[in-house]
């Protein structure tokens, strides 16, 4: 039987370089955030938590679906680590026995459900504790962490992201390719290039 997978979507940042909430940018008839949630929702046996922060009210309106739980991170200005910690704590509060979590961001326009499926199947096949996406010669999000790394995640501080843990435990990490995973939206130029 397929065990439950937690998916935490990190959507708390202020998109300061962009000047508007990147979560709400429109691409292919949907917003970047809605696409991330939709793709995650295609995976059976998941529980999905969206962590909001800056622009909470606007972003909250984008989150639809009975399966989706939203949590507001009042410490979002402290950096991505605070959202990872908040999302994982919420997940464990709802599902204390959960064995794995996938961390995803909402500014990868080419994210599909296949990426999530590949992370889960690779974890099941190899039993590696960390399964990360690979693109542009780096390892990054979405990334799956087995339960044994939950404490490491809960101890992240400031601007630290999941990459710190991936780099520390490379011998227990396996990569799955995510074509165009390197394309994310940080500036208006990035967005204009995406939609042109």
Query: Residue 129 maps to which CATH number?
Result: 3.90.550.10
Could you list the beta-strand ranges (E) of 44-170: 46-52, 68-72, 100-105, 130-135, 138-146
Average pLDDT of span 12-18: 81
Domain region containing 169? 5-195
More confident: 190 or 117: 117
CB 110 within 8 A of CB 136: no
Both structure tokens of 192 = 């204009």
> In this predicted structure, what is the pLDDT of residue 1?
42
184, pLDDT greater than 80: yes
Structurally, the chain folds into a number of domains equal to 1
At residue 16, the pLDDT reads 77
Would you state the pLDDT for residue 51?
A: 95
Average of per-residue pLDDT values in the chain: 91
Tally of CB atoms within 10 A around 4: 15
* pLDDT for 19: 77
- pLDDT tens-digit series, residues 122-174: 999 999 999 999 999 899 999 999 999 999 999 999 888 889 999 999 999 99
Is 80 exceeded by the pLDDT of residue 98? yes
pLDDT tens, 16-51? 777 777 888 888 889 999 999 999 999 999 999 999
Q: How confident is the model at residue 2 (pLDDT cuts 50, 70, 90)?
A: low
Label residues 90-118 b or e (16+ Cβ within 10 Å = b): bbbeeeeebebbbbbbbbbbbbbeebbeb
């Amino acid at each position: 039987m397929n065990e439950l997978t937690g998916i935490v979507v990190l959507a708390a940042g202020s998109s300061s370089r962009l000047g508007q909430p990147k979560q709400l940018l429109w691409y292919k008839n949907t917003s970047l955030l809605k696409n991330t949630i939709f793709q995650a929702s295609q995976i059976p046996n998941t529980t999905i938590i969206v962590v909001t922060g800056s622009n909470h009210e606007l972003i909250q309106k984008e989150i639809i679906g009975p399966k989706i739980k939203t949590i507001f991170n009042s410490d979002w200005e402290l950096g991505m680590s605070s959202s990872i910690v908040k999302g994982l704590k919420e997940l464990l509060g709802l599902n204390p026995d959960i064995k794995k979590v996938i961390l995803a961001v909402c500014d990868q326009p080419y994210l599909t459900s296949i990426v999530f499926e590949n992370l889960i199947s690779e974890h099941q096949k190899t039993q590696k504790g960390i399964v990360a996406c690979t693109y542009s010669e780096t390892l990054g999000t979405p990334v799956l962490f087995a339960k044994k790394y939950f404490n490491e995640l809960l101890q992240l501080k400031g601007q630290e992201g999941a990459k710190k843990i991936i780099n520390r435990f490379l011998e227990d990490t396996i990569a799955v390719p995510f074509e165009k995973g390197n394309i994310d939206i940080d500036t208006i130029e990035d967005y204009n290039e995406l939609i042109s």
